[in-house]
Amino acid sequence: MSLAVEIASWALLLAGGAFCVIGGLGLVRLRGFFPRTHASSVLDGGGAGLILAGLLLQAGWTLVAVKLLVIGVLIFFASPTAAHALANAALARGVKLEQDGEAPSKR
Amino acid sequence: MLQRAILFLLFYAFWILMSGYFTPFLLGAGAAVSAAVVWFVRRMEVADREGHPVHLGWSALGYWPWLVKEILKSAIDVSKVILDPRLPASPTVVRFRPSQKTVVGLVTHANSITLTPGTLSVEVSPERFVVHGLTRASAQGAVDSEMDRRVARFEGGR
Amino acid sequence: MMFAVAALALLVALGLALARAVAGPTVFDRALAGNSIGTLAMMMLAVLGFLAGRPEFLDLAILYGLLNVIGTIAVLKFFRVGDLGDPGEDPRP
């Protein structure tokens, strides 16, 4: 494996790990349910995606790479669906969209 | 019938890619399972145009790299908000009318909004999207966005 | 080495998500944390597979991901309509 691929894969894995930790931190730090969903989306979109890309570079052109791609597509389609279902259910059960009542909505 | 054949071939290719073995028993079992799943899918009536949008063709593929770039950009923005000690989140809700006509276009638009960190689609209907944003800027960015235009372009243009 | 670093980062994130799942005031906070834990566990399985040199772990990760989605949606539906048999409103366009 060439050095450039190795370095790129290192960088992607590190960035993905950093996004995962930041997402977890946001999950703990942010106040209110709806802001927390954004932290979870950093975790799914940024963290998981970058870690998968880093692993993909390590795998090369093998069946392992195909499986990593399948995991990626699964997250790509399933995570927004789950997040939307979560938000919609929370709204239907009366979790307030706007906390503190200060955030103005357009129109 | 053509759609069923395509579905069968997709399932069978998926089976072979997942297993990676080429013994006669496993190849036969894969064919049998693929045929059974095609039959189930027909019975459940979920293999319609929406669940299987081959008609969108290649134009949808050009959208994905752009979406990945957007996701990374806004992931960095949201990370800055989370890491800031003052936590400058200003949760905002915006309501607007999407410009897509088909269900596939609407779902793609809503899912793209949710997949981008910082914005989350809460309610989706052809008349109105309700989008929650972590900051005021990210929420306003979802209204009449470039994403809206791009999705509208690829759902219409073949 | 780099897989160990990534696995460590994932462990930290898992701990934080677990803290939210324990503390979450509403059931939706817990479901959100549970969904994140599922994604992190998938990544953990993939990274562990590379760390141990056994890519078969990826199959487990795929299976875990599929179950995670179904689990999240099922829990949400239960808390929204109260039972899992309800077909829900289905607007035919």
ipTM of predicted complex: 0.82
Can you give the pLDDT at residue B103?
79
> What pLDDT is attached to residue C89?
58
* pLDDT at res. B52: 56
pLDDT, average across residues A46-50:
89
Whether the CB of A74 is below 8 Å from some CB of chain C: the reply is yes
What pLDDT does residue A101 have?
A: 40
> Containing domain of residue B25, as a range?
2-44
Q: Using the beta-carbon criterion (under 8 Å), do C32 and A79 form an inter-chain contact?
A: no
B153 vs A65: which has the higher pLDDT: A65
Q: Is residue A31 part of a domain?
A: yes
- Looking at residue B59, its pLDDT comes to 66
Of A46, A84, A87, the CB nearest to B72: A46
Q: How far apart are CA B55 and CA B156, in angstroms?
A: 11
Examine the pLDDT at A104 and tell me if it is beyond 70: no
Whether B73 maps to a domain, the answer reads: yes
Asked if C58 and A92 come within 8 Å (Cβ–Cβ), the reply is no
Which residue of chain B has the CA closest to A75? B115
pLDDT at C93: 44
Q: Do B39 and B87 sit in the same domain of this protein? A: no
- Split at pLDDT 50, 70, 90, the class of A103 is very low
Q: How far is it, in rounded angstroms, from Cα C21 to Cα C29? A: 7
Q: Residue B75's closest chain A neighbor by CA?
A: A42
Q: Please report whether residue B49 resides in a domain.
A: no
In a domain, A102, yes or no: no
Q: Within the 6-35 window of chain A, which residues sit less than 8 Å (CB to CB) from chain B?
A: 19, 22-23, 25-26, 29-30, 32, 34-35
| Residue C26 near chain A (CB below 8 Å) | yes
Report DSSP state, residue B130.
E
Task: Tell me the C-alpha distance between A77 and B17, whole Å.
Answer: 20
How much helix, strand and coil, in percent to the nearest 5, is found in chain A? 80, 0, 20
Contact B93/A105, CB-based, under 8 Å?
yes
Indicate whether A74 belongs to any domain: yes
Contact C62 A70 (CB under 8 A): yes
Q: Which helix (H) or strand (E) holds B91?
A: none
At B85, is the pLDDT very low, low, confident or very high (cuts 50, 70, 90)? Answer: confident
Q: Residue A14 domain-assigned? A: yes
Tokens representing residue B125 in the block: 């209907």
User: What is residue B122's predicted lDDT score, i.e. its pLDDT?
Assistant: 86
- Cβ–Cβ under 8 Å, residues C72 and A85: yes
What is the average per-residue pLDDT within A41-48? 88
Does B139 lie in the same domain as B95? yes
Domain membership flag for residue B51: no
Whether the pLDDT of residue B136 is over 90: the answer is no
B104 falls within a domain: yes
Is B52 a member of any domain?
no
Place of tokens 């979560």: A86
Closest by CA to B79, choosing from A80, A86, A30, is A30
A89 interface with B at CB cutoff 8 Å: no
The answer to whether A63 contacts B78, with C-beta atoms less than 8 Å apart, is: no
pLDDT band with cut points at 50, 70 and 90 for residue A21: very high
Q: What is the pLDDT of residue A106?
A: 34
Which has more pLDDT, B116 or A94? B116
Provide the residue range defining the domain that includes A43.
3-92
Per-residue confidence at B144, pLDDT binned at 50, 70, 90? confident
Nearest Cα neighbor of C84 from C71, C69, C93, C67 is C71
Domains contained in chain A, number: 1
Across chain C, which has 93 residues, the per-10-residue mean pLDDT values are: 88 92 85 90 91 86 89 81 64 47
Query: What pLDDT, in 10s, does the model give residues B109-121?
Result: 888 888 888 888 8
Note the pLDDT of residue C17.
92
Least reliable range by pLDDT among A98-102, B98-102, B142-146, B153-157: A98-102
Is C22 near chain A, with CB under 8 Å?
A: no
Number of domains composing chain B: 2
* Both structure tokens of B108: 């793609």
What whole-number distance in Å separates Cα of residue B72 and Cα of residue B75? 5
Contacts of B92 in chain A (CB under 8 A): 103-105
The Cα C13–Cα C8 span in angstroms is 9
Confidence of residue B156 (pLDDT cuts 50, 70, 90): low
- B96 in a structural domain: yes
Nearest CA in chain B to A107: B95
Q: Measured between alpha carbons, how far is residue B30 from residues A15, A42, C13, C55 in Å?
A: 39, 37, 38, 22
